[in-house]
Amino acid sequence: MNSARAPRIAIVGAGLGGLTCARVLQRHGRSVTVFEREASADARPQGGTLDLHADTGQAALRAAGLLDRFHALSRPEGDEWRVLDFASALPLAHQVPSADSGRPEIDRGQLRGLLLDSLAEGTVRWDHAVSAVTPFPDGTCRLLFGDGSAEDFDLVVGADGAWSRVRPALSHAVPAYTGITFVETGFDHCDTRHPDLARLVGNGSMLVKGAGRSLVAQRNSNDHIRAYIALRAPQDWYLTAGIDLGDEPAVRSHLLQALDGWDESLRCILRNNDSAFVNRSLFVLPAEHTWDHVPGVTLLGDAAHLMPPVGLGANLAMLDGSDLAHALVTESSVDDAVRAYESVMLPRSIEAATGSAQGLDHLVPATTS
> Which residue did the predictor score with more confidence, 43 or 142?
142
Contact 19, 36 (CB under 8 A): no
pLDDT-derived band of residue 338, with 50, 70 and 90 as boundaries? very high
Q: Are residues 168 and 26 part of one domain?
A: yes
Q: Which CATH number goes with the domain that contains 57?
A: 3.50.50.60
Task: Say what the pLDDT of residue 101 is.
Answer: 65
Find the mean pLDDT for residues 220-249: 96
What's the rounded mean pLDDT across residues 195-202?
A: 94
Q: Give the confidence band of 105 by pLDDT, cuts at 50, 70, 90.
A: very high
Q: Name the domain boundary from 284, 301, 319.
A: 284
272-296 burial string, b = 16+ CB within 10 Å, else e?
A: ebeeebeeebbbbbebebbbeebbb
d(CA 184, CA 146): 31
| Alpha carbon distance 105, 13 (integer Å) | 23
**Average pLDDT for 89-106:** 85
Does any domain span residue 165?
yes
Show which of 234, 261, 284 is a domain's final residue: 284
Mark whether 21 and 119 lie in a shared domain. yes
Indicate the DSSP class of residue 48. Answer: S
Task: Mark whether 330 and 210 lie in a shared domain.
Answer: no
Among 253, 284, 315, identify where a domain stops. 284
130: number of Cβ within 10 Å: 22
Q: What is the average per-residue pLDDT within 88-105?
A: 85
Please name which of 151, 175, 159 lies closest in space to residue 36, comparing C-alpha atoms. 159
Coil, helix or strand for 147? coil
Same domain, 59 and 39: yes
Give the pLDDT of residue 2: 43
**Judgement on whether residues 222 and 137 belong to the same structural domain of the protein:** no
Residue 4: band (very low, low, confident or very high) from pLDDT cuts 50, 70, 90:
low
Whether residue 124 is contained in a domain is answered as yes
pLDDT of residue 79: 86
Residues 57 and 149 in one domain: yes
CA angle 36, 42, 43 (to 5 degrees): 65
Whether residue 94 is predicted with pLDDT greater than 60 in this model: the reply is yes
263 half-sphere exposure, CB direction, 13 A CA radius:
15
- Asked whether 23 and 118 are in contact (CB, 8 A), the reply is yes
215 shares a domain with 109: no
> Lowest-pLDDT range, 39-53, 105-119, 172-186?
39-53
Residues 166 and 290 occupy one common structural domain: yes
- Measured CA to CA in angstroms, residue 124 lies from 15, 19, 116 at distances of 11, 9, 8
Mean pLDDT of 300-322: 95
Cα 8 to Cα 30: distance, rounded to the nearest angstrom = 9
The answer to whether residue 17 scores a pLDDT higher than 90 is yes
Residues whose CB is less than 8 angstroms from the CB of residue 223 and which lie 6 or more positions away in sequence, other chains included: 188, 189, 190, 191, 192
Residues 300 and 280 in one domain: no
Which range marks the domain in which residue 24 is found?
Answer: 9-76+101-174+285-363
> Residue 281: helix, strand or coil by DSSP?
strand
Q: Is residue 3 scored above 80 in pLDDT?
A: no
CATH value at residue 211: 3.30.9.30
Instruction: Write down the mean pLDDT value for the chain.
Output: 94
79 or 275, greater pLDDT: 275
Residue 18 domain flag: yes
- 91 domain residue, yes or no: no
Q: C-alpha distances in angstroms, 74 versus 102, 207, 221, 232?
A: 11, 21, 9, 32
The CB density around residue 14, as the number of other CB atoms within 10 Å, is 26
Stated as kind and residue range, the H or E segment containing 219 is strand 213-219
pTM reported for the whole predicted model: 0.94
Whether 369 maps to a domain, the answer reads no
Which range is least confidently modeled, 76-80, 210-214, 292-296?
Answer: 76-80
| 346 pLDDT higher than 80 | yes
The count of structural domains within the chain is 2
**For the chain, what percent of residues have pLDDT higher than 90?**
90
Residues 141 and 212 in one domain: no
